[in-house]
Amino acid sequence: MPKFTLDGKEIGFEPGETVMQAAWREGIEIPHYCWHPGLSIAANCRMCLVHIESGRQMAMPQLVFDEAAGEYVPATKSKLQPACQLEAADGMVISSTNDEVKTAQASVQEFLLLNHPVDCPICDQAGECKLQDYYYEHQGTLKRKLTEPVHKPKGVRFGPTIVYDAERCIMCTRCIRVCDEVAKDHVLDMRERGNRNEIILAPGRELDHKYTLMTEHVCPVGALTSQDFRFKARVWFLKSAPSVCTGCATGCNSHADYDPRNGKIYRLRPRDNADVNKFWMCDDGMMTYTRHDTDRLLMPSVGRGDARLPVGEDEALILGAEKLKGVDGDKLAVVLSAQHSTEDNLALAKLAAALGAEQLYLAALPSWEGDDILRNEDHNPNRAGATLAAGGAALKSVAELPADVQSGSVEAVLALGWATEETLEQLAPLLALDRVVSLTSHVGALPAVASVAIPVADAFELDGSFVNAKGMSQSFGPVLPAPAGVEPAWKTILNLARQLGKDLGFESLESLRQGLVDAAEAAQ
């Protein structure tokens, strides 16, 4: 592998790679604003200027003040190159820290802050802003300009999700490129030049494609802010935990940012994964966190309609077990969930096997609009995992369940999850059955028709895994603790089995996972 030297460190590179790219791969950051590993190269911010110390030196003329002579005299200085556009060559020696580069970095930074508004106290980006970081690292001087800064539009609505502040903008064009190259929709562009530069919408358009939040995500400063996150939280109070998006079968990797003080998730951010989502997530996926604290089922309950009564957790387990006791396995329908983790589904499949149930159904959300970027038509994160958990057995659709109830082939139902394509009206025949037990994290049609509903943890409170459409199993940990008294579904199922006097062959998540590995091997 050819190598170049950056600040005394040898870095290998693939031919054709830029200096920035190779350094980034090695985990070395050359200061930059406009370069993004997932976007094309613009080389317009000039922050990544470096000095090529090897080879023939390119010199630029400049005037230097000569104290003795009392006048400016001609001199030269090195011509610096933007590292993001500089193709690496074997044996190249590059400095990103010598005096000339430091001067360039400080000057670029000073120029960028020349007309910047004093917005940090009210800016959502404060605390994760590159202008702040690089000011501290590379500038560290106070303002020299005494005149009023140039004023530009603030609080411009770009669309339903994004607000733009032209004064904060450093014109790196990352948002334009993300629209062009990721969303394939040239809806943003730039107008004017110099001081008057600003990002604008295409005439007659709004920023309303499926990846608008990525413009905010790539914005290195606070110019683009998301309507959803705006003024909601200060980032230095947020903690971050890795998670996997529950929006569709792509299974984009995300960071869930939550405030540990109130246990609330405030936003998702894409987590880089070259094999799944690269650097991106879609808008709907970014917003899946809102489901976490919306329409949650927190209290176990027994009965239906007006007669539904809240009960304690232990009582709910006993009552749930009573409903399932003595049911003929042939007449028991077990509903797996494409929204729940593979582990949850596996535990349920094991219970179904222990009870002799052979009629397995799959509850899933209806498909949504897919595209060839990230969005999969399957609106469920774990259809493949649920199928795997069932041991490859054919899973019936929940749509067939009402008919099976009416025909008398189903007399009892044990259902996981809330997500169904079917409405309450369509599931109404289940109300005729006395034995319908629902394990669910949220309210929905299935819990509504259940005679016993037991709350379980949702994907943000769970140690589990999803199998995406490509067949990749991606595990994730709990972001937040589950509400008091609420357990993950696999644990609730285990407790239910104990009430029923059944041994499911696992006692912990580890032993359950071993079962999963076995199931996967058996399927091969």
Partner 1 sequence: MEPADELLNEQAALELSEDPMRLNMGPSHPAMHGTIRMVMDLDGETLVNLDVQPGYLHRGFEKSCERGTWAQVFPYADRLNYVSPMLNNVGWALAVEKLLEIEVPERCQYYRVILGELSRIADHFTCNGASAMELGAFTPFLWLLKVRDWVWDILERETGARMTHSFGRIGGMAEPPTATFKDDVLRLIPELHKVVKETEIMLLRNRIFLDRMQGVGILSKEQALSYGVTGPVARSTGIPYDVRKDHPYLVYDRFDFDVPVGEDGDNWDRFMVRLEEIRQSVRIIEQAIEQMPDDGPINVDDPRIVYPEKNAVYTTIEATIAHFKLVMEGLQTPKGEVYSFTEGGNGELGFHIVSDGSGTPYRVRVRPPCWYNLAASREMLLGGMIADIIPTFGSVNMIGGECDR
Among 28, 41, 93, 113, binds partner 1 (CB under 8 A): 113
Residue 519 Cβ vs partner 1, minimum distance, rounded to whole Å: 45
Question: Using the 8-state DSSP alphabet, how is residue 266 labeled?
Answer: E
Q: Which is nearer to partner 1, 118 or 394 (CB)?
A: 118
Residue 142 Cβ vs partner 1, minimum distance, rounded to whole Å: 5
Count of residues interacting with partner 1 (CB under 8 A): 19
By CB under 8 A, is residue 203 in contact with partner 1?
A: no
Q: Which is nearer to partner 1, 118 or 307 (CB)?
A: 118
Residue 170 Cβ vs partner 1, minimum distance, rounded to whole Å: 12
What separation in angstroms does the CA of 404 have from each of 359, 461, 511? Answer: 10, 34, 34
How many CB atoms lie under 10 A from the CB of residue 110? 16
- Taking alpha carbons only, the member of 15, 6, 459 closest to residue 246 is 459
Among 89, 93, 120, 201, binds partner 1 (CB under 8 A): 120
Q: Which is nearer to partner 1, 171 or 297 (CB)?
A: 171
Show the tokens assigned to 334. Answer: 């077990």
Who's near 142: CB < 8 A, 6+ residues apart?
none
By rule CB under 8 A, what string of x and - marks binding of each residue 122-161 to partner 1?
----xx---xx--xx--xxxxx------------------
Element (H, E) at 389: helix 383-389
Give the phi and the psi of residue 22 in degrees, each rounded to 5.
-65, -40
Strand partners, 163: 157, 225
Q: Which is nearer to partner 1, 146 or 307 (CB)?
A: 146
Residue 143 Cβ vs partner 1, minimum distance, rounded to whole Å: 4
Question: Please, what's the largest Cα pairwise distance for the chain?
Answer: 105
Residue 222 Cβ vs partner 1, minimum distance, rounded to whole Å: 12
Residue 236 Cβ vs partner 1, minimum distance, rounded to whole Å: 6
Q: Which is nearer to partner 1, 4 or 33 (CB)?
A: 33
- Taking alpha carbons only, the member of 102, 79, 137, 96 closest to residue 4 is 96
By rule CB under 8 A, what string of x and - marks binding of each residue 211-250 to partner 1?
-------------------------x--------------
Residue 195 Cβ vs partner 1, minimum distance, rounded to whole Å: 15
Element (H, E) at 124: none
Binding region for partner 1 (CB under 8 A) out of 69-77, 116-124, 425-433, 456-464: 116-124
Site for partner 1 in 437-476 (CB under 8 A): none
C-alpha span between 164 and 52 (Å, rounded):
37
Place of tokens 């060839």: 372
Side chain identity at residue 431, one-letter code: L
Residue 237 Cβ vs partner 1, minimum distance, rounded to whole Å: 11
C-alpha span between 214 and 182 (Å, rounded):
9
Give the phi and the psi of residue 349 in degrees, each rounded to 5.
-65, -35
Residues within the interface to partner 1 (CB under 8 A): 113, 116-121, 126-127, 131-132, 135-136, 139-143, 236
